[in-house]
Structure formats: C-alpha cells, structure tokens
Structure 1
Amino acid sequence: VAYGTAWKTLRKMMTDKYCLRSELKKLEIKICNLKVKGIDVVSYTQRFQELALMCRRMFLEESDEVNKYVIGLPDMI
C-alpha cells in the first residue's frame, strides 16, 4: 500500500490508525496557545515546528501554518 500512496495520504492513514483523537486535540490546543516568551523567538520557533510536525491536519495549506506562527509572535520584534 505504501509504495503507491502519496505521502499526505499515507500520513493521514497512519495518523488515523495510531494517534488517539484526544491526543491530537491536546496538540491542537497547545499549538493554539503557543506564544513567544519574552524575546526567546528561537525556542518558540523550535516548539512550533515540533508541534506542527505532530499536528499536520491543522494546517491544510502552508499559508495556514505561517499565519499561526505569526500570531504567536509579539507585536514588536
């Protein structure tokens, strides 16, 4: 099945089979509440990338991911 399947389709199949919905919901909440602490943009970026990789279904388009990332940044950088 994996050889003839697009990566997005395979990832969704594996997520549906092996990830609990409750755990995915927790990840979505974490990413929605993620903000830069102080001026530590590096830690924010790293954590955002970790959560975004685990919760791909939240970002159907790359622009959705960029918008969420920007929302977590302070108004003045």
Structure 2
Amino acid sequence: MSAALLPKPQMRGLLARRMKFHLIGAFLVSMGCATLYKFGVAEPRKQAYADFYRNYDPMKDFEAMKAAGVLESAPPK
C-alpha cells in the first residue's frame, strides 16, 4: 500500500535534462574564468610591457651590459 503513494522516478530524458543544466553551468563558469584572467592577468601584463618599452633605450642597455662584461662579442672599454 505504501508503494502506491510514492511517486515514480523520472527515467526518460533524465540524462538530457541533467546534461543541459551542467553544460550551461560549465559554460558560465568558463566564461567567468576567462573574463577574470583577461582583466586580472592579461591586461595588467600588457600595460606593464607598454610602460617598460615607453622609456626603454636599447643602446643604453647595450652599453651597460657591455661595460659589465656580459656580452662576449663586445669587449668592455
């Protein structure tokens, strides 16, 4: 008698319904991670490179390395 009172479990379409829910969730989580990476890592890194190369003088850096004896092909003066 108590078996008749319990609702039957859903068997048809269960995988499709659960898959839709999990695919939407996975898509939203992955887009959130991509957005956080872009604005938390990539953009500050691009800005740091832009700031560094804005005032970078390669000849001054070359002369400093040459004076320190780092370069074997250019003897220090």
Q: Same fold (TM over 0.5)?
A: no
- TM-score, reference length from structure 2: 0.24
Judging by fraction of residues, say which structure has more helix.
2
Which structure exhibits the higher relative contact order, with contacts defined as CA atoms closer than 8 Å and separated by 6 or more residues?
1
